[in-house]
Amino acid sequence: MSKKEKSTDDRITPESETPVETPPKKEKTPPKIKEES
């Protein structure tokens, strides 16, 4: 279970941050994600 949870977290993290920083909103997105994180 630990392996499956780690693989999902690692895969969802990069995938969720990639599409969000990819659009033109990357200037307003990174600062908001870094401050909220």
Of 22, 17, 10, residue with least CA distance to 37: 17
Percent of the chain beyond pLDDT 70?
A: 0
The three state secondary structure string of 1-37 is: CHHHHHHHHHHHHHHHHHHHHCCHHHHCHHHHHHHHC
Percent of the chain beyond pLDDT 90?
A: 0
Its pTM surpasses 0.75: no
> What pLDDT is attached to residue 7?
57
30's CB contacts (< 8 A; 6+ apart) are 21
Domain spans in the chain, listed from the N-terminal domain onward: 2-36
> What pLDDT is attached to residue 19?
57
SS3 22: coil
> What pLDDT is attached to residue 17?
56
The tens digit of pLDDT for each residue in 3-33 reads: 655 555 555 555 555 555 555 655 555 666 5
Distance CA 30, CA 12 (A): 17
